[in-house]
Every structure is written in structure tokens, then in C-alpha cells.
Amino acid sequence: MTSLTVKKNQAKIAEGIYKQTHFTKTEVENLLMIFRERANQKEKLDRTKFRDILHNTFGMTDDFLMDGVFRAFDKDNDSNINMEEWILGLSVFLRGTMEEKMHYCFEVYDLNSDGYISREEIFQMLKSSLIKQPTEEDPDEGVKELVEIVLKLVDHGNVGKLSFKDFEMVVNKEPLLLEAFGPCLPDAKAIDDFNTQFTDTT
């Protein structure tokens, strides 16, 4: 594929998708160029390459959460991120509204994609994101206690798991709880650094 054909292709994709995002058409075209660079000129990003981007560009290190982010981007569940998924995912990841971010974080935390964040999922995420303290006690016990406290506070249906409605209610009351089970959105510095690579300044 010649570079002119690639550019035309990207312009066509950008035209079709930018109105569904928080990006301008030029920004989408720039993000598609970044996609092609990172995907070695292929049409899809596999899990490994995508995790490299999350780690190296956005400073993410937690395996569970990176897998969750991958699932949230990979809307067609084909174990790859295509160009459209990349653009739509980044739109929420970098510039999403609070409502969009709530849906996104819930998807990341719902490890088995069953529509709920279960006691076991909360345990896994808290266990992997909490700083390990060298103590005599069994660290799992402390995490289990924390899970029970969390469920008491946010499980309004009292069923041992969180629905999106529970999650939404809690985050609307206290926005700081958006990433309660671990960081799955980039921090302001990472966003600023990445923005400089594609932002439309015209």
C-alpha cells in the first residue's frame, strides 16, 4: 500500500468516525497515523502491542487492569484492537464525559464481562493494586475485610456484587471513587504528553 493510499484510507475512516468522538477530523487522522506506527503498518493492534502502549505511554503496570482496558477497547471481542476501536476507545480514555468514563471503568472492573463487579473481582483488583506491606498477618485477610467494607457501602441491592446502577450512584455521589478498584484512566501528565503527539492546533 502506497503512503498516498494509506493517507486516503485514513482520511476516509476519520470522516466516518470523528463525529462520534471528542476529537476533530485532523486529530483522528493523526491518531490513525500513530496507530499504524504502533501496529507496524498493520490494520490491528494485538494485546501485547496494546499493553506496551498502556505501559510505556500511559504508565500502567497492573496486569488485571491492563487486561480490563484491552477488553473495554476491544468491542468486537476478536482479541485485537482495530482502528475504529482505537479511536472510540481513546475518545473516552482521554476526553470522555463523566458518564462515558463511568461506563468505561465499570467495563474494566467487570473482569468476566457478566454485567456485575463481583466480590471475587473486587478482591482480585484490590489485591493486585494495593501496596504490599511486610506484616505477620495474612495479606489476603486484610483485602477480604476491605472488600466487605466496600460492598457494605456500595452494594445497594445487598447481593454481594455491584451492578452498573450501584457503581453510578456511588460515583455520582463521590466522583473520586470512579477508579476505586485501581487506576484504569491515564493521569493528567500522561494525557498532556500524549496530546502533544496528535492535537489539532489550527
What is the pLDDT at residue 130? 66
Q: Which of 52, 50, 46, 14 lies closest to 30 in space, CA to CA?
A: 14
Q: Which of 189, 185, 188, 159 lies closest to 66 in space, CA to CA?
A: 185
* All three cell numbers of 3: 503512503
Positions of the chain with pLDDT lower than 50, given as ranges: none
Give the C-alpha separation, 111 to 116, whole Å. 9
What is the pLDDT at residue 109? 94
Q: Quick one: how far is CA 110 from the chain centroid?
A: 12
Q: Amino acid identity of 36?
A: R
What is the pLDDT at residue 139? 66
Contact call for residues 73 and 86 (beta carbons, < 8 A): yes
What is the pLDDT at residue 137? 62
Single pTM value for the model: 0.86
What is the pLDDT at residue 148? 81
What is the pLDDT at residue 13? 86
* All three cell numbers of 66: 491492563
All domains of the chain in start order, with CATH: 3-97+186-198 (1.10.238.10), 98-179 (1.10.238.10)
Q: Which of 137, 141, 151 lies closest to 181 in space, CA to CA?
A: 151
- List residues bridging with 44 in a β-sheet: 82
Please provide the DSSP assignment of the chain as one string. --HHHHHHHHHHHHHHHGGGSSS-HHHHHHHHHHHHHHTTT-SEEEHHHHHHHHHHHH----HHHHHHHHHHH-TT-SSEEEHHHHHHHHHHHHH--HHHHHHHHHHHH-TT-SSSEEHHHHHHHHHHHSPP---SS-HHHHHHHHHHHHHHHH-TT-SSEE-HHHHHHHHHH-GGGGGTTS--S--HHHHHHHHHHH----
- List residues bridging with 166 in a β-sheet: none
